[in-house]
Each structure stands twice: as structure tokens, then as C-alpha cells.
A and B are shown apart, each in its own frame.
Chain A
Amino acid sequence: MMRSFLVFLTGIAAVAAARPAEGQVNTAAAHRRLQHALDASTYRAVRVVFDSAQARGVPVEPLINRALQGTLHRTAGPRIRDAVATLADRLVVAKAALGPAASDAEITAGANALAVGVPRETLSEIRTLSPGKAVTVPLGVLTELVARKVTVGRASQMVVALLRNGATAAQLVSLSNEVQHDVNAGMDAEDAFDIRTRGALGKIEQVVGEADGQRTSPGVVQTRPLGTTPPARAPRKP
């Protein structure tokens, strides 16, 4: 009876261990799905990529995810293999740019950013500006901005500047959401980005300057309401 009970407990532990943490791939289950969905040669080809990536020290889970994404669309085997291999190369570059201490999520986010054209130097810079903090969100926001057709240079420059000014992850996501709202409303992405980042980066500093109380019309220094008493005649009292 004790043996049955122990087997029972072992079974429960195995099931509990097998259930992935939220958002993570159950590797064994994923492999079974891939084997079922892919033809044998494609499955062998992607397994080679998985093993190679593992040997190079990069996470395999995003590669499995990419292959599974291909099965969702019933994409041709060679294309799935090429997509997985391309992602593996990017993961290696991302890991090199983000440093050996980078987490799997950070490396994955870095690979996504590289995929849209963000230079690896930007990844390194973001890493440098966020010591001890996860960079998954800044990299994710950067990727979103570029995906919305904001130029890579401008988006990179602004995210770096925001990080340098102490922007939090929530603020970065909020910026991205604001740009998305404006784009959904029909605005050009670059215009929306410029408006929102003009506020996000310099907004506070800008309005402190306006505390002088001298209102200006756009492009014009408003010296006074026209027709008022000129300075030479102004009574000298506060």
C-alpha cells in the first residue's frame, strides 16, 4: 500500500512538473506536437537546429515556438526549418550583445528586435543602461515601434534616451500604446511617434520652462497684447 501511495505521489509530482509555467513551452509535449504535425525530414532538420542552439548556449524554447507557429499555418517544411535556423542565429547574436547573464526572455526579446533591423549595438546599449534590470520590455517596445514603421534609428535613439532619463517599463509600454492609438486613428506612425516622444522625453522639462509665465504663440514671441502701455509709461508697481 505504501508502494502504491509512493507511486501515486510520484505520478502527481510528474504531472505537476510536466505542467509548464504560464507562458512556457512544455518541451516534451511540444516535441510530440511537432512530430505529429511535421513530416519526418522537417522534424529531423529542426531537431538539428535545436541541438545546435542548445550547444551554443541559447534557449531552445523560442525555436520550438517558432516551429509550432509554422504548424499553425501548415507552412511548408523547408520554410519552417529556415525560419527556425534564422531565429537560432539571431538568438546567438542577441546573447552576445546582451551579455552572458541575459535571461532566456531577454535573449528572445533581443532576437525579435534584431529581426526588425535593430542593430546589436543598440541591444548592448540598452543592456548597459539597465544594469540589474530586465530589458525584455524595452526591447519589446522598440520592436513594436519599428513594426509600426517608425524608423529604426529614431526608435532606437528614443528608447535609449528614455532609459537614460529613467523611464520605467510601464512608461515605455504606455508610449508604445499611445503611438498605436494614434496610428489606429489614422495618423502617420512617424508623426505619432514624434508627438508622443516629444512629450515623453522632454515634456516635463519643457513645461518647467513655460512656468516663466510668458506664453508664446507658435513660432512667435508674444511680447505683449498689442496696444498696451509701452514700458516707458508703465507705472512702477507690482
Chain B
Amino acid sequence: MPRRRCAHPAWIRSTTATLIADGRLHVRALLLVAVGAGTTPAHAQWNAGAELGGAHVAQPDLRGRVAGTAEVSVGFDSPGVMLRGSTAWTLPQSEQARVHAVIVGGAHRGVTRRLGLEVSGSGSVYDEGVFPEAMSAYAATRARARVGQLLVRAGVGIGALDDGVNAYPLVTLDAAGATIWGDARLVASATWHETQGEPRIELVGTPAPVATTVRDRLSYTDALLTAFVPRGQLELDVRGGARLVHETIPLERHRGPRMFGSVDAALWITPRAAFGVSAGRALSDLARGLPEARYASVSLRVRWKDVPRAASTRRRPHRPMVRGAAPDVLVERHAAGGAMLRVLAGRSTRRLEVAGTFTAWEPVVLTREGEGLWMLPTLLPSGPHRLMVRVDGGAWQPPANLPSLDDELGGRVGIITVP
């Protein structure tokens, strides 16, 4: 169940070029301008978006036709509930409009401290106007559990797709595990699908074969690895997987694993604009009635509001050191327990002192460890501490990179917690 809060309160997206394939590679130029609006990230959030564009369509019955496109979506996110719906129109020249509407929703609830249950569902309708409507519906229930630093999930789903001619049932079983590694979010998942092929006539029986309608059993498993890595201004989403086909139509048997994957990169060149590149190959999704596709796109995204960007946690604080300015304090955990305290000060610093709860507020002179780097000779014990630093005999001040409090003595004091 996709569950992502809108990180972008408002945005405009334009895709300057897209290569899309539906089984065979076609080259098309696609210009898309999307305008959306949403609330700031909060416990519950509504968001809405609209897209307008034009496409040179290469579908079998619309080859070479220029079509207008439009899509409207509405979404709701809260800690326990997610709901999204969208409607997309394709408006080819001198042709009836085609409409594809999708709704996705889900709810999650914790049962115990480490166990939760989730139910989700989706439905879609496709209307060409000429042919009967195609519809699909799918519902799933999953259990989630936390095992140490790993979150695992397993569930079962059932659904059906009706293409206006035939109905196709669907059963799925899925399992996934996710964890955090540094700044990266990693997910491994496997989903087993079972459905049926299109009805076909087969001569069955001997000595007088009879024309019988049969439906092939289709069964496959998609194994997927996903990594989302934010690095300062760059956000990278990489996915790769393989489809293992167990049962398929006779003509497709004896086929090896089919690979799929995608890469999506967004570079925030300003707080309000990102340059995006994405490419990938998606295999057919029989649960939602989506065909196989290859695509590549380049886009420019513009926001109406500055998007808060998470600074990398791997950089050391880097600030220009002004003479007498408060230095930065670094705390590094020690294998023996407690932590080492180091201070980054200007290169011209001659003497650096620290005083705090761990020195009974008696000033202690730090030892110079390297250029601009000073060290407290003793370990800080675990727990919260208050501290001040003094450069070259100047005024006592809280370290620049630590939170500070009113010390109720007429000044401010830096605080730090050692794990």
C-alpha cells in the first residue's frame, strides 16, 4: 500500500521529453505541465494536483495521433489512513475521450507495541466510450511486526479485473522487510500472483475432440529491492527486481526470469526547484491491468513554497571561524562507554577551555589535537550535560552548534546528551 505524505506543499512539473514503450520501444515527445497544491506536512494532510499536457500517442489504435491529456488527483494522508484518487483523460483529435479513474486507500492500526494490521484496497475504471468499460478491484490485508531494527510485513490479497469481455480473478501473497541503513531506506519484497489467462478454445478429449473453452493458469512472483537515499540536495530512488514466472500461457512457457527496475533522481538546485531524471522498465501488472512499459523522462519541478531539505548527517559542521566566535563541539562515542568531547575552533586559537557539569564547572584546558581541533582528556559519562566554552580567555559562551538554554543565572548554557 503506497503511503507517502506529500513532502511538497505545492509544485509545478514539466516533463520536457519522455520515451515510453508498451512492449516495443516507441519514441515520443511529451510535454506535461502539472500544477498541484497541498498542505504542509502535518498529522493529517489533504493534497490535490492537476496535470495538463499533450502527447504524441503511439497506441495501436491511435498511432500518429496527437492527443490532449489531463489528470486530476486528490489525496488524504494521516498516521493511520491513506486515500488517493485520480482521473485521467486522453483526448485524441476527432476521437472520443478515454478516461481512466483510480482510487487507492488503506488503513493501518497498531495492535501491540510491535505488531500492526493493515487493510488496503484499490479500484479502477477505464472507459473508451466505444467498448465496454474495463474495471478492476483489489483488496489486501497484511500484518506488520517489528523485529529489532527490521520491519517485516506479510499479507494476502484478492481481486478481479474485468476488461469488458472477460473477468480475471487474482490472488496475491506478499512478504517484505525494511530497515534503515544510515540515511538510506532499504526494502526487500516478494509478491506472488495467481490469475488466469484469456479464454481460448482448445480441442479436448479423444477419440473425438470437443472444442472447449479453457483458461490458462498464470502464476508469477515479483522479487523487488528498493533503496531510497537522500544526500543533501540529491534524492535517489533505485529499484530493481526480477519476475519469476511459474505458470503462463503455452506460448510463453520455458521463459527465464524477467528483469525490471527503475532509477529516479531529483536534484534540488534551489529550495523551490528540482531537476528530475527517471528511467525504468515496468512489467505488466495484471492486478491493475497495466501493460509492460519502458520509459525515460526529464523534468523540472517548481514549488510555490520552499521545500525543507534535510542536511546530510555525514558532514561535519563547517562554519567560518571568526576570532572569538563560539566554537563547535563534537561528541564521539567511546568503545569503553561514555564519549570523547572534541572542539572545533579557529586556527588562530591559542587556548581553549571548557566547563560544565562533567567538570563541576571548573574550567579545564583542552588539549590541541590538530589544526583547529581540541580534545578533552577525559570521557563524558552517559546522560545529559551542560557546558560552556571559552576561547583565548574571552567570555564563556555555549558552543555554537549545540542547543542552548536560559541558565537562570543571566546567560545561556549549552546542553548535550551522551547516549
For the complex with contacts A87-B408, A221-B84, 16 further pairs of A-B residues with Cβ separation under 8 Å are A22-B378, A69-B409, A86-B408, A144-B403, A182-B308, A184-B311, A188-B308, A208-B178, A213-B239, A215-B262, A218-B4, A225-B295, A226-B53, A227-B55, A232-B164, A233-B61
CA distance A178 to B3 in the complex (A): 24
CB pairs A–B below 8 angstroms (14 shown): A69-B409, A172-B419, A184-B319, A204-B151, A207-B228, A211-B178, A211-B188, A220-B36, A221-B102, A221-B104, A223-B86, A223-B100, A225-B20, A226-B32
Q: Mostly helix, strand, loop or mixed at chain A's interface?
A: helix
Query: Does B47 have its Cβ within 8 Å of any Cβ on chain A?
Result: yes
Chain B: which residue is nearest A141 at the CB level?
B417
Q: Which residues of A contact B38 (CB under 8 A)?
A: 218-219
Chain B: which residue is nearest A68 at the CB level?
B361
Contact B405 A192 (CB under 8 A): no
Stretch of B204-212, B367-375, B380-388 on the interface side: B380-388
Q: Which residues of A contact B363 (CB under 8 A)?
A: 72
Residue A187 contacts which of B118, B168, B308 (CB distance < 8 angstroms)? B308
Query: Does A40 have its Cβ within 8 Å of any Cβ on chain B?
Result: no
Within 8 A of B (CB), among A63-104: 64-66, 68-73, 75, 79-80, 82-83, 86-87
CA distance A163 to B177 in the complex (A): 21
Q: Which residues of B contact A180 (CB under 8 A)?
A: 401-403
Contact B410 A235 (CB under 8 A): no
CA distance A83 to B191 in the complex (A): 62
Query: Does B342 have its Cβ within 8 Å of any Cβ on chain A?
Result: no
CA distance A233 to B396 in the complex (A): 75
Q: A232-B126, A238-B245 are in contact. Are A185 and B311 (CB under 8 A)?
A: yes
Residue A195 contacts which of B164, B308, B401, B413 (CB distance < 8 angstroms)? B308
CA distance A177 to B418 in the complex (A): 11
Q: A116-B405, A210-B226, A226-B32 are in contact. Are A23 and B357 (CB under 8 A)?
A: yes
Q: Which residues of B contact A20 (CB under 8 A)?
A: 360
Contact B1 A226 (CB under 8 A): no
CA distance A204 to B189 in the complex (A): 13
Contact B108 A79 (CB under 8 A): no
Contact A237 B284 (CB under 8 A): yes
Contact B415 A112 (CB under 8 A): yes
Residue A216 contacts which of B4, B174, B293 (CB distance < 8 angstroms)? B4
Contact B126 A231 (CB under 8 A): yes
Contact B2 A227 (CB under 8 A): no
Q: Which residues of A contact B136 (CB under 8 A)?
A: 231
CA distance A218 to B235 in the complex (A): 14
Residue of B282, B319, B417 ringed by the most chain A CB atoms within 10 A: B417
Contact A224 B396 (CB under 8 A): no
Q: A198-B41, A207-B228, A231-B134 are in contact. Are A181 and B51 (CB under 8 A)?
A: no
> How many residues on A have C-beta within 8 angstroms of the other chain's C-beta atoms?
101
Contact B98 A65 (CB under 8 A): no
Counting contact residues on chain B (CB < 8 A from A), the size range is 35 or more
Stretch of A7-15, A119-127, A132-140 on the interface side: A132-140
Contact B419 A229 (CB under 8 A): no
Q: Which residues of B contact A226 (CB under 8 A)?
A: 18, 20, 30, 32, 53, 55, 69, 88, 90
- Chain A 160-186, CB-CB to B under 8 Å as 1, else 0, gives 000011100110110011101110110
A89 CB, nearest partner CB in chain B, Å: 12
5 tightest CB-CB pairs across the interface, nearest first? Answer: A140-B417, A140-B384, A231-B289, A147-B403, A211-B189
A72 CB, nearest partner CB in chain B, Å: 5
Give how many A-B residue pairs fall within 8 Å (CB-CB): 356
Q: A112-B415, A211-B176 are in contact. Are A218 and B384 (CB under 8 A)?
A: no
Contact A170 B419 (CB under 8 A): yes
Query: Does A217 have its Cβ within 8 Å of any Cβ on chain B?
Result: yes
Q: Which residues of A contact B275 (CB under 8 A)?
A: none
B123 CB, nearest partner CB in chain A, Å: 12
Q: Which residues of A contact B28 (CB under 8 A)?
A: 227
Q: A25-B360, A143-B384, A164-B113 are in contact. Are A227 and B30 (CB under 8 A)?
A: yes
Q: Which residues of A contact B358 (CB under 8 A)?
A: 22-23
Q: Which residues of A contact B404 (CB under 8 A)?
A: 147
Q: Which residues of A contact B249 (CB under 8 A)?
A: 236-237
Within 8 A of A (CB), among B43-74: 47-49, 51, 53, 55-61, 67, 69, 71, 73
Contact A178 B310 (CB under 8 A): yes
Q: Which residues of B contact A232 (CB under 8 A)?
A: 126, 128, 131, 134, 163-164
CA distance A207 to B224 in the complex (A): 13
CA distance A139 to B388 in the complex (A): 20
Contact B73 A139 (CB under 8 A): no
Chain A: which residue is nearest B136 at the CB level?
A231
B11 CB, nearest partner CB in chain A, Å: 6
Residue A209 contacts which of B3, B220, B283 (CB distance < 8 angstroms)? B3
Contact A169 B360 (CB under 8 A): no
Contact A22 B381 (CB under 8 A): yes
CA distance A180 to B262 in the complex (A): 33
Q: A205-B151, A216-B84 are in contact. Are A75 and B128 (CB under 8 A)?
A: no
Contact A238 B13 (CB under 8 A): no
Query: Does A191 have its Cβ within 8 Å of any Cβ on chain B?
Result: yes
CA distance A111 to B355 in the complex (A): 20
Q: Which residues of A contact B256 (CB under 8 A)?
A: none
CA distance A36 to B333 in the complex (A): 36
CA distance A224 to B114 in the complex (A): 35
